[in-house]
Structure formats: C-alpha cells, structure tokens
Amino acid sequence: MTEPHTPLHVIVGATSPIARAYAVDCAIAGKPLLLAGRDLSELELIAADLKIRQAVSVAVERYDASLPGEGRRLALTFAGRPVSAVVAFHGIMGDRDEFAAMLQVNCASIAELFEPVLAAVSSVAGDRGRQSNYPYGASKAALDAYLSGLRNRLHPLGLRVVTIKPGFVRTRLTEGKVNPRSPLLAEPAQVAADIRRAIEGSADVVYTRWFWRPIMAIIRCIPEFVFKRLKL
C-alpha cells in the first residue's frame, strides 16, 4: 500500500484508452491516483480494477471538460494534498460546426489546470492545418501555443509543462481512418510508456511514437504555396 503522504498523480480524461494504459503504468509504479472524467461509473470500474491488480489507492472524481470552471473545481478536490503531476488526456474531434466546443474541451479546459508538472495530450494535427481535420488541428495548435507560453512563464518558478504529441494511436479516433496494420499506428500502451518517460524525464515537447518528430518537421517545412496543393 502507498504512504498517505505520497504525492497524488491526477489523470484527467481517464476513460480514454491511452489514459487507461497510462494509469496501469502508474499503478504498477505504486503511485496513488485520482482519476477524473465524465463517466463516473466507468471511472469506478477502472479504479476498482487498478486497486485489485496493483493494490494502490485510486480515487475518482467527475469532471466534464466541456463546462468552464470544471478544472478549478477539480483542483479544489485535491487542494492541500501534494500532487506529483496532472496529466490531461481528454479531447474531442469534430468538424467545423464543433469548433467552439473543441476549443473549449481541447484547449480552454486545460488552461484551468496547473501543478508542479502539467502534461497535456495534444496532437501532431496541431503542427499544421490539413484540409482533412483542420478545425481539430487548430484547437490543438491553440493548446500547443498556450502550453508553450505557460512553460515559458512557469520555468523560472521551477514548474514543468509537458506537451505530448501523439500521431496515430489505435483508438476510436483512428478506427476506420487508418489502416489497422499501418506501421505508423501505435498501441495505447506504447504511447502511455512514452508519456511516462517524458514526465519522469525532463522533456518539454514529446512526439509519440518518436518518428513523428522528423515526419512533422518535414511537413512543417513544406512551403505554403506547395502545401495548399497537397491532398492531406
């Protein structure tokens, strides 16, 4: 069992497949967890599972990223307890009609969270707007810029901000869009392991899997007059 003063690890959006894999990693490492998300009954199932398998302490808290103020309310539930990190996994993907909702869930909600270490899952889609999903990409680009500025502001105080940029991961978001046998498609557990290494290390911006960093570097370099002609 974990010591009562062991700092709490907060996982937001904890029902997502990547968050679930990450929570397993944390539980194996003996970190006491707080799982936050919209679906309380699912959170309770996940918490029970972690407690049975790993004998760690796991608490759950309802959290709805679509509602402004939820992040501050969540922070109050663990106020006064030492926290090792807050890791935000939540996000939605939609088209132009849902752009405002995406800005709220994918970016503004995260602006309410900060802690000794704040890690947020962004996306390679934020690196450049492509015709296939630019409203989603734009919400992630906003998140990237926000996290970059926050990191810049908090660095002198010794606080860390980690931007995590996954490429294709085998989840609901890629189902039917990415060939299930594609070598670019990562398993949630692989991404979770990359995230854990990033948080335990000293990284600022992490691409997962690693090969997305050079791929996106190339994509960012393509001049706009060429890029606008590409079918991406």
Q: Which residues contact 163 (CB under 8 A, 6 or more apart)?
A: 119, 120, 122, 143, 144, 147, 148, 151, 204, 205, 206
Q: Measured from the CB of residue 51, what is the shortest distance to other proteins in angstroms? A: 9
Q: Does 52 participate in binding other proteins (rule CB under 8 A)?
A: yes
When binding is defined by CB under 8 A, the residue of 25, 49, 98, 187 that contacts other proteins is 49
The H or E element that residue 62 is part of is strand 58-62
When binding is defined by CB under 8 A, the residue of 4, 80, 156, 180 that contacts other proteins is 180
When binding is defined by CB under 8 A, the residue of 11, 35, 46, 85 that contacts other proteins is 46
When binding is defined by CB under 8 A, the residue of 13, 17, 71, 126 that contacts other proteins is 17
For other proteins (CB under 8 A), the number of binding residues is 15
Q: Does 15 participate in binding other proteins (rule CB under 8 A)?
A: yes
Q: Does 48 participate in binding other proteins (rule CB under 8 A)?
A: yes
Nearer to other proteins, 58 or 113 (CB): 58
CA distances from 150 to 4, 10, 172 (A): 30, 19, 30
Task: Let me know how long the chain is.
Answer: 232
Q: Measured from the CB of residue 17, what is the shortest distance to other proteins in angstroms? A: 6
Q: Does 39 participate in binding other proteins (rule CB under 8 A)?
A: yes
User: Which two tokens mark 128?
Assistant: 């450049």
DSSP summary character for residue 42 = H
Picking from 66, 11, 17, 15, the residue whose alpha carbon sits closest to that of residue 168 is: 17
Stretch that binds other proteins, among 120-128, 153-161, 171-179, 204-212 (CB under 8 A): 171-179
Neighbour tally for 196: CB within 10 Å: 18
Q: Does 176 participate in binding other proteins (rule CB under 8 A)?
A: yes
Alpha-carbon torsion, ordered 215, 217, 219, 220, to 10 deg: 160
Which residues sit at the interface with other proteins, rule CB under 8 A?
Answer: 15, 17, 39, 41-42, 45-46, 48-49, 52-53, 172, 175-176, 180
